[in-house]
Amino acid sequence: AQTIALVVAAGSGSRMGGDLPKQYRQLAGKSVLAHAIDHLAAAGVGHIQVVIGPDQEALYHAAVGDHDLPSPILGGALRQHSVRRGLDMLASQGGAGNVLIHDAARPFLPKEVVARLLTALTTSQAAAPVLAIADTLARAGAALGDAVPRDGLVRVQTPQAFHFEAILDAHRRWQSGEATDDAQVARAAGLEVAAVPGDAILEKLTYEEDFVRAEARLATHLT
């Protein structure tokens, strides 16, 4: 089945401060978004559609340079709105077999992860990369030290992979407030989400130190 990547890049990046949303910042002379796009292309995804904020057209064009991509779709105030608008637009253009929904803020993507996700879609309607939690988890604030059992908990990354019609339908039915990823939207619609091994390198850039680490990694050609 044809696979489309939907890359959501409409965030304003407010958690990290600064004026420039993190997906449009440069890493080793290339925007974070362009790194993400290049990795998807290298993994064999031929159709890549980006969703941007309504005021991000100039940032987008500067970030993607001469990449040959379809015009960006305008997203919404929450991540889930950006995904929904992307899916609706793709549906109006005929949809796809599978869709990989990916955060633009994750510049590094091993092609093995994409391969695992697409393999999982041969037997599941949904799949997501997960990583185990090594650190102790605890409640912040006065009760710090009250550990939260980490048994059975994982960190969930993107890209997340879905049968297109299934995740489109799940998003159209979602009514439960903010969703930070699409696996939870899928679950709420009754889909089973297959877990595949994620990768530490897929980490979402969020804090300043994440950028420092990413620059260092690129400087030593480890990606």
Binding site for ligand C5P (CB under 6 A): 8-11, 23, 51, 75-79, 82, 103-105, 204, 206
Which lies closer to ligand C5P via its Cβ, residue 136 or residue 176?
176
Which lies closer to ligand C5P via its Cβ, residue 96 or residue 105?
105
Which lies closer to ligand C5P via its Cβ, residue 53 or residue 110?
53
Which lies closer to ligand C5P via its Cβ, residue 82 or residue 124?
82
- Nearest approach in angstroms of CB 117 to ligand C5P is 18
The kind and range of the H/E element at 40 are helix 32-42
Angle at 7 between CA 6 and CA 13, to 5 degrees: 150
Which lies closer to ligand C5P via its Cβ, residue 187 or residue 204?
204
The four Cα atoms 51, 106, 63, 39 give a dihedral, to 10 degrees, of: -100
- Nearest approach in angstroms of CB 145 to ligand C5P is 28
- Nearest approach in angstroms of CB 53 to ligand C5P is 7
Q: Among the residues of 93-155, which ranges form H helices? A: 111-120
- Nearest approach in angstroms of CB 146 to ligand C5P is 26
Residue nearest to ligand C5P (CB): 11
Q: Is the dihedral of CA 38, 208, 182, 174 positive or negative?
A: negative
- Nearest approach in angstroms of CB 155 to ligand C5P is 13
Tell me which residue of 5, 70, 80, 14 sits closest to 36, measured CA to CA.
5
Q: Which residues have CB under 8 Å from 119's CB, separation 6+? A: 196
